[in-house]
Structure 1
Amino acid sequence: MSILSIFHGRYTNALTATDDGRNVSNVSALYILGDSSVDCGDNTLFYPLLHSHLSVYSCNGSDATLLPQLIAEKIGLTSIRPFYGQKGSMEEVLGGLNFGSTQATIMNEGSNSHQSLNQQLRQVSETMQLLQLQLTEDTAIEFTKSSIFLVSFGKEDHIDFFLHNSTSQIFNQNFTTILVDQMTNAVRYLYDANARKIICLGILPLGCTPRIAWESTNHTSAGDDTGNGCVDKVNQLVFKYNRLLEEHVAKLNAEFSDAQMVFCDVYNGMMEIINNPRLYGKLLSPLS
């Protein structure tokens, strides 16, 4: 299963092959917005001061386990700096930035521990304005249009919802609609900032995560185990969010004919691996 096979929407291959077989990217830069799905904990206000002493897991561009890094490698971009890890050079901005922050949410802006969706959008706007100051306006606009903006939110909102709220059908639907509407507004905001290549990532099957599965065994209202260790009610809500977001992205893609907006379905890809683990890796024997 290739990285590009999970994208839905109009997609133009970002790579062209040279005569000697090397891949050359047609993308200027990759700018990433999101939560822990795109950041492993280093992108905080005090990143430059605390990173070398307190960081549990390095996230300086060498980590190849997060999907944005895999995409960056695929299109030939080698180093995406954390927003708060910049050292003030224009080369870093031109190389792409990761605005993502662990535990960032779509709706909640009350915490100082992470950057919300709206806060990250403001940081993107300020960065694009900086480009226009350093480059000519036309050059900056063309650079922005040829860059990819990857947006991955909703995971932390859903986790908070599952752990602290009821699961009534009406409230679930309202919750999903509110989140998707906010994501749709974010895509429109990026378009107005001259972004023309936008990827929206769906959410993984959170009902299969250890925390949610553990909560389910202790609180039966969280959902029923499906037999594969996953909580069905949780996965159903995540699936509805992904499907609605995909529909909205498709509508935006049709509305803005000069843009390429795609939805990345990580849910079904991960469920395929969970349900057929022997096809995708080696199963380890339980410890005796």
Structure 2
Amino acid sequence: MASRSFSFLSFLAFLLLSSSVSGQENGGTDARRELVPAMFIFGDSLIDNGNNNNLPSFAKANYYPYGVDFDAGPTGRFSNGYTMVDEIAELLGLPLIPAYSQASGEQMLHGINYASAAAGILDVTGRNFVGRIPFNQQIQNFENTLDQITGNLGADEMANAIGRCIFFVGMGSNDYLNNYLMPNYPTKNQYNPQQFATLLTQQYTRQLTSLYNLGARKFVISGVGLLGCVPSILAQSPTGRCSDTVNQLVIPFNANVRSTVDNLSANLPGAKFIYLDVYRMFQNILNKPSQYGFSVIDRGCCGIGRNGGQITCLPFQTPCSNRDQYVFWDAFHPTSAVNIIMGREAFNGNTDVAYPMNIQQLANLNLQPNN
């Protein structure tokens, strides 16, 4: 397509420029400074913004009430409004990053979102939802993007350009919710929690290294949250309380990923990896919800059944009216209000939630991509 070819040439020219002052306006007054040229996003439904819309998949969110508080309406975001990466993009001075399946023209100048609902670190994860784009395929899609760009520019210049961009990766939740914990998967019988965490981390390390080999240098790696407290899990409990068993299940994985961040930063020349402790972020919100402005922490705003978690949002279902007071939007995903809080903590938080530095500090870090 001519428009797509033009967009790649424009993309190249843009990436080769230093981070600059955007011509776009914030609130119609102040110019917005772009801290990085672009952000590339890989992950699952927590940050998918439409890549599943045209797949033969049960994991879709391109219908109302999804997007009820988003200017563009239902786009494929599993939220009433913003996702975490939407908030991070704005804080970086970037426009919202388009989905790979929909991006064209100048929309692509500031990066691409490759995330896919139901996707996992393991290719087999999420098969109950049929269509999805596992992390391996997301990386392949990014490589396809680079192949088209590099042909017009050259490998060395492309490496310098890509090395200044942020690579946000949030994987692992589905490997537990839609693999290890599913009765039709043999995984739980094959691996104890520590063994499964090791399996995931080994694969994850290979995948992140693949992104490094494709030119990525500034990595933001998001851990797995309090899965035992999502409405879907609460609905399975006779008491309606968080499942400590499920929460404990993901702790070894998060610990492994945090160690991996240190190891990869030390062993991959010119790269810097940071770890976002989403588990702790969620824990802080659930422990003291009123301090964050929330009053409902144990049910979905638009789910159905016990805890609003037995069935997720149905098309044209009327959601709760006081959405900003809810922690959870549906059976699995947080509200836009929570996503915005977590995005801001990821961007400028302390080392207890963003280790060993936050996204703002990473963006300002002067790395040498060719080292």
Q: Deviation per CA, 1:70-121: give whole Å up to 9, x if none.
A: 111110111311011123x3x3333211100111111134845100011111
Give structure 1 stretches of 5+ with no counterpart.
1-14, 48-52, 218-224
Evaluate the alpha carbon distance shift between residue 174 and residue 86 of structure 1 in structure 2; reply closer, same or farther with a 3 A threshold.
Answer: same
Contact 1:60 1:81 in 2 (8 A): no
In structure 2, C-alpha distance between the alignment counterparts of 1:73 and 1:64, rounded to whole Å: 14
Q: Which residue of 2 aligns with 1:70?
A: 87
Evaluate the alpha carbon distance shift between residue 233 and residue 92 of structure 1 in structure 2; reply closer, same or farther with a 3 A threshold.
Answer: same
Q: Which residue of 2 aligns with 1:8?
A: none
Q: Which residue of 2 aligns with 1:163?
A: 182
In structure 1, C-alpha distance between the alignment counterparts of 2:51 and 2:117, rounded to whole Å: 8
Contact 1:26 1:146 in 2 (8 A): no
Q: Which residue of 1 aligns with 2:277?
A: 265
Query: 1:120-269 residue pairs with structure 2 within 5 A?
Result: 120-160=138-178, 161-164=180-183, 171-217=192-238, 229-269=241-281
Please point out which of 13, 32, 35 is paired with 1:26: 35
CA RMSD of aligned residues (A): 3.3
Contact 2:48 2:76 in 1 (8 A): no
Q: Percent identity?
A: 29
Question: TM-score, with normalisation over the residues of structure 2?
Answer: 0.61
- 2:261 maps to a residue whose letter is V
In structure 1, C-alpha distance between the alignment counterparts of 2:121 and 2:282, rounded to whole Å: 23
| C-alpha deviation, 1:257, in angstroms | 3.9
Q: Partner of 2:274: helix, strand, or coil? A: strand
Q: Which residue of 2 aligns with 1:9?
A: none
Q: Which residue of 2 aligns with 1:79?
A: 96
In structure 2, C-alpha distance between the alignment counterparts of 1:23 and 1:94, rounded to whole Å: 16
Q: Partner of 1:199: helix, strand, or coil? A: strand
Q: Which residue of 1 aligns with 2:58?
A: none
In structure 1, C-alpha distance between the alignment counterparts of 2:123 and 2:283, rounded to whole Å: 28
Q: Which residue of 1 aligns with 2:326?
A: none
Q: Deviation per CA, 1:58-81: give whole Å up to 9, x if none.
A: 237998521111111110111311
Please point out which of 136, 148, 167 is paired with 1:118: 136
Evaluate the alpha carbon distance shift between residue 167 and residue 276 of structure 1 in structure 2; reply closer, same or farther with a 3 A threshold.
Answer: farther
* Between 161-170 and 151-160, the greater mean CA deviation after superposition: 161-170
In structure 1, C-alpha distance between the alignment counterparts of 2:82 and 2:45, rounded to whole Å: 12
Contact 1:36 1:102 in 2 (8 A): yes
| C-alpha deviation, 1:22, in angstroms | 5.6
* Between 228-237 and 128-137, the greater mean CA deviation after superposition: 128-137
Evaluate the alpha carbon distance shift between residue 190 and residue 261 of structure 1 in structure 2; reply closer, same or farther with a 3 A threshold.
Answer: same
- 1:162 maps to a residue whose letter is L
Query: 1:22-101 residue pairs with structure 2 within 5 A?
Result: 24-40=33-49, 42-44=50-52, 46=54, 55-56=63-64, 57=66, 58-59=74-75, 65-87=82-104, 89=105, 91-101=106-116
In structure 2, C-alpha distance between the alignment counterparts of 1:60 and 1:163, rounded to whole Å: 24
Higher relative contact order (CA 8 A, sep 6+): 1
- 2:263 maps to a residue whose letter is K
| C-alpha deviation, 1:171, in angstroms | 1.6
| C-alpha deviation, 1:240, in angstroms | 1.8
Evaluate the alpha carbon distance shift between residue 198 and residue 265 of structure 1 in structure 2; reply closer, same or farther with a 3 A threshold.
Answer: same
Contact 2:193 2:249 in 1 (8 A): yes
- 1:81 maps to a residue whose letter is P
- 2:48 maps to a residue whose letter is D
- 1:197 maps to a residue whose letter is K
In structure 2, C-alpha distance between the alignment counterparts of 1:63 and 1:54, rounded to whole Å: 11
Please point out which of 272, 286, 291 is paired with 1:274: 286
Q: Partner of 2:236: helix, strand, or coil? A: helix
| C-alpha deviation, 1:249, in angstroms | 1.2
| C-alpha deviation, 1:139, in angstroms | 3.0
In structure 1, C-alpha distance between the alignment counterparts of 2:250 and 2:136, rounded to whole Å: 22
User: In the comparison of the two structures, how many residue pairs are matched?
Assistant: 255
In structure 2, C-alpha distance between the alignment counterparts of 1:170 and 1:54, rounded to whole Å: 36
Question: TM-score, with normalisation over the residues of structure 1?
Answer: 0.78
Contact 1:145 1:195 in 2 (8 A): yes
Give structure 2 stretches of 5+ with no counterpart.
1-18, 23-28, 56-60, 67-73, 300-319, 321-371
**Bigger fraction of residues in helix:** 1
In structure 2, C-alpha distance between the alignment counterparts of 1:86 and 1:17, rounded to whole Å: 23
In structure 2, C-alpha distance between the alignment counterparts of 1:16 and 1:122, rounded to whole Å: 30
